[in-house]
Structure 1
Amino acid sequence: MAKIIVAAPPIPGELAPLLQLGVDLAARGHRITVLTGSRFRSAVENAGLAFVPLSGAADYDIAEHAVMPERLAAAPGPEQLNIDWINAFVNPMPDQHTALQELLAEDPDQYLLCNVLFLGMLPPVMGVPGRKPLRWVGVSAVVMALSSDDTTFFGPVPVGPGEDQVAANRAANAGFTAAMCPTQERMDQLLRELGATEPTPSFVDAVAVLPDETAVLTVPGFEFARGDLPANIHLVGIQPTRSAPDWQPPDWWSELDGSRPVVVVTQGTLANHDFTQLVEPALTALADLDVTVVAALGRPASALSIPIPANARVAEFIPFDRLLPKASVYISNGGIGGLQQALAAGVPVVVAGETEDKPANAARVKYHGLGIDLATATPTPEAIAAATASLLEDSTTAGNVERIAKVYAEHDALTEIEHLLLR
């Protein structure tokens, strides 16, 4: 039995994989303490795990952050990413550090398993006085922004005949690092104030290369290949989703019997405050197709501003482990969790997103031929209809998705992460 601190920012998409890991590791006999935002106390304790709340700037509500006027006014891309990374990940670092030090002072004989965007362990690594755990494993729930001679965050830079691919990638990576300067400067400032004595790597590299080991929840064939990947970074697959044992299918569930294609559409659990961006255009676009549309809203159906078409079924929540095996196409704004679950289930994808990591996810879909990138967060119904109809007939994409689904099936993320943590 090992004593493991499981830590994550108070963001559902960042916490959920860590919480599932905590539950599964506890089932293997380890003692788990979860460190995250206070609003997740009941979720952690209901899972049977010990809970310690974050405080101060580390204990925030991401829903309030998502609608900050400053963020909404920012252009998608580096401007908005800097706002997100500073407020959600960098500013909480000192309070995360304090909370970790208190836990390690109580019991130094503990391991740390944390989301890579939980930065509370960076200060001691950078020379700030403080205890370190027996071993530190970072878990990345998002794709890698790590610098590489072989690629960028968005894939290898297109080059012409005779042009130097490595030079092009290096220049693009340097440009991305420069664009994220506000994040870097804020992180450096906070580390200096805490007493750091070591030079800090770039933010996008630090979160991956500083842990003893880093487990990325993805597979080769979705991530871009990197011949210079640091030895501490491992692609371990994804965690299987599990529906609650007491989940009851809706009355229309029997209609998903394979008699016609099922198209799933969702805007995820965070970027779903405006259904006119994707869900409503998709419902409109597919109303006349011979398909059954299932919209997983993440909010009550009353939030829709249009009538529900006759071929559509909507629900606030539908467990994807039940739904995706019935699907023929998955339409989303590119959130990494649902996107990879769809691919692991062998479902081609249509992606429409512009914020956070979504363009980088879409770039991987396009590069590996796993679906269609609409390259906008607000696609027209016509574009959605054309993409969906295309994928329903596209045997090449279907073959690519079938192959990557087998790669996902070859990985056991829990076992691989446990080995990285305790070896």
Structure 2
Amino acid sequence: MRAILCSAPLTGHLQPMIAIGRQLIADGSTVAVLTSAHFRDRVERAGLEHIALPSECDFDERDLNGQFAGRARMPGFLRSRYDLEHLFIRSISAQHDRLAALLAERDIDVVLAENLFLGVLPLLSAAQANRPRVAAVCMTPLMANSADTAPFGPGFAPSTTRAGMLRNRLLTLGATSVVLRRAQRSTDAAVRDAVGCNAASFVLDWPLLADDVFVLTTPSLEYPRRDLDSKLRYVGPALGRADSGQAPPVWWDRVDGRRPVVVVTQGTLDNEDMSRLVEPAITGLADSGALVVATTGGPPVESVRVAAANAVVTEFVPFDMMFPHTDVLVTNGGWGGVHFALTHGVPMVVVGSTEDKGEVAARVARSGAGIRLRRNSPGAIRRAVRTVLDDPSFRDRAAVLQSEMSGLDGACAISDALSRPPIDAREARDSLPPR
């Protein structure tokens, strides 16, 4: 099988694609990865062919606010809409052109795209009879609209009561027709420019057009959707391989088992401002009796302007080494980090509002494996961490999810599924909400 894997220029989306690509190669496939030029070394070190995105649709996630003027001043919800429009929808044409050129040059069997790589939408909208098989990989909580859920973004709990489904319908109408109306118009325009027709779905519903839809989680961490679940394959996370030869960090002797360990992270994207989570967590947990290990996710440790005697601040934390010794994860809700924690049975406190973080927090809280905080004050974080430490039900629920995930391997499941015929894509397309 000859496959092209497509990823937006985001570390959290590329890493699972690399894990999938490695598994495909191990199973005998030929794999190329279409992604940011910044990731060439990372892709090639994994033994995969790297193909760079055109410069007009490439960006550096380490300096989004510097590249996109005005982004930093936006509150969480408006920033999410801005990112959808400026980082992802504006990339559709250039992404599609590069992908179409590759398909013309090479004999490709499968295009595997993560859900924020929107350049496959023109390919799926044109209904070409001779296109390769297209598979979608959902790297985030599922964004597609459903009768059983509110629209993606605010983090509302699902509801299937009569009143709840009316709420879902009205909120979805408001989201598609008002809040994201401009985003959808831009999507349609980009798809028309590429293939001469409007997008065949609402922009966030595009994975349902694919021949296969792989969701990188366990069903217990997602919302049940009676109108969609038959089209989805819950394959579990694709977390990649741990580096067994990794040396312990210089502060590792402080992880001595004599006190609880709390890990704090803002992830690798929303980490320009450490006052969002890392700083209030360090302040709130000072003198708490716990060891606090805080990671900046890339920025220098000097970007953290507070300190505490019981806190370690580092640019990166080796999660595979750290989580077996961790009692609580305090996170802004990165989907990958949440899954890393749950595969080790670590309960969490989730404090996040940007990107998809509110939706992640809502799912963690609903699963019982953690607490969702809407405030990032030091006192609120301290109280939430103490609650998780004192109440064994959170660790018990995290252990249940750990057990479920132990039987799932997203990369292996995807490789195996792609060796078999896809689910009938026509049925999925026919059941999409009308546009």
> Does the pair score TM above 0.5?
yes
CA gap 1:204/1:306 in 2 versus in 1, 3 angstroms: same
Residues 84-163 of structure 1: pairs in structure 2 closer than 5 A: 84-127=83-126, 132-133=131-132, 135-152=133-150, 153=152, 154-156=155-157
Match of 2:209 in 1: 210
Sort the Cα spacing of 1:251 and 1:60 in 2 relative to 1 into closer, same or farther, 3 A: closer
CA distance in structure 2 between the partners assigned to 1:197 and 1:380 by the alignment: 49
**Is 1:247–2:254 an aligned residue pair?**
no
Instruction: Give the unaligned 5+ runs of structure 2.
Output: 421-435
Please state how far the C-alpha of 1:82 moved relative to its aligned partner.
2.1
Find the aligned partners of 1:128 and 1:23 in 2 and give their Cα distance.
Answer: 30
Show the counterpart of 1:168: 167
Structure 1: unaligned runs, 5 residues or longer: none
Q: Given the two structures, how large is their TM-score scaled by the length of structure 1?
A: 0.92
Residue 356 of structure 1: CA displacement? 0.5
Cα deviation, residue 156, structure 1: 3.7
**Matched-pair contact (CA < 8 Å) for 2:122–2:199:** no
Question: Contact 1:137–1:420 at 8 Å: present in 2 too?
Answer: no
Worse-superposed segment, 138-147 or 309-318 = 309-318
In the alignment, which residue of structure 1 is the partner of 2:423?
none
Q: Is the 8 Å Cα contact of residues 187 and 199 (structure 2) preserved in structure 1?
A: no
Aligned equivalents of 1:198 and 1:312: distance in 2? 53
Change (3 A) 1:314 1:65: closer
Is the 1:104–1:131 contact (alpha carbons within 8 Å) kept by the matching residues of 2? Answer: no
User: Alpha-carbon deviation of 1:163?
Assistant: 5.2
Counterpart for residue 20 of structure 2: 21
Aligned twin of 1:285: 284
Which residue pairs with 1:325 in the alignment?
A: 324
Equivalents in 2 of 1:199, 1:98: separation in Å? 16
- Partner of 1:223 in structure 2? 222
Q: Cα–Cα, structure 1 residues 157 and 59, in superposed 2: closer, same or farther, change >3 Å?
A: closer
Q: Quote the offset at 1:131 in angstroms.
A: 6.0
Q: d(CA) in 2 for partners of 1:119 and 1:59?
A: 13
Question: Per the alignment, do residues 163 and 123 of structure 1 end up closer, same or farther by CA in structure 2, a change over 3 Å counting?
Answer: closer
Q: Secondary structure at the match of 2:352?
A: coil
SS in 2 for 1:26: helix
Task: Report if the CA contact (8 A) 2:284-2:382 is conserved.
Answer: yes
Task: Describe the SS at the equivalent of 1:121.
Answer: helix
RMSD over equivalenced CA pairs, Å: 2.1
Map Cα deviations across residues 240-287 of structure 1 (whole Å, 9 max, x no partner). Answer: 343334421123313323221110001111211111221111111111
**AA aligned opposite 1:392:** L
Query: Structure 2 counterpart of 1:413, which letter?
Result: G
User: Which of 396, 399, 404 in structure 1 is aligned with 2:401?
Assistant: 404
Partners of 2:83 and 2:285 lie apart in 1 by 34
Partner of 2:24, secondary structure, is helix
**Quick check: 2:5–2:33 contact (8 Å CA) kept in 1?**
yes
**Secondary structure, aligned partner of 1:57:** helix
The answer on whether the counterparts of 2:27 and 2:415 sit within 8 Å (CA) in structure 1 is no
How has the CA–CA distance of structure 1 residues 251 and 372 changed in structure 2, closer, same or farther, with 3 Å as cutoff?
Answer: same
**Partner AA of 1:93 in structure 2:** I
Match of 1:183 in 2: 183
Q: Cα gap change, 1:306/1:53 in structure 2, threshold over 3 Å: closer, same or farther?
A: same
Q: Which amino acid aligns with 1:418?
A: S
The code of the aligned residue for 2:47 comes to: G
**Superposed displacement of residue 334, structure 1:** 1.0
CA distance in 1, matches of 2:410, 2:176: 30
- Counterpart of 1:164 in 2: which secondary structure? helix
Counterpart check, 1:70 vs 2:70:
yes
Specify the code of the residue in structure 2 equivalent to 1:280.
E
Shift, 1:305, TM fit: 1.3
Specify the SS of the correspondent of 2:220. Answer: coil
Displacement of 1:232: 3.1
Q: Which is bigger in relative contact order (C-alpha 8 A, separation at least 6)?
A: 2
> 1:174 is paired with a residue of what secondary structure?
helix
Q: What residue number does 1:310 align with?
A: 309
Alignment of 1:264-275 (within 5 A): 264-275=263-274
CA distance in structure 1 between the partners assigned to 2:108 and 2:195 by the alignment:
25
How many Å separate the matches in 2 of 1:164 and 1:276?
Answer: 39
Deviation at 1:74, TM superposition (A): 2.5
Q: Partners in 1 of 2:415 and 2:128 — Cα distance?
A: 28
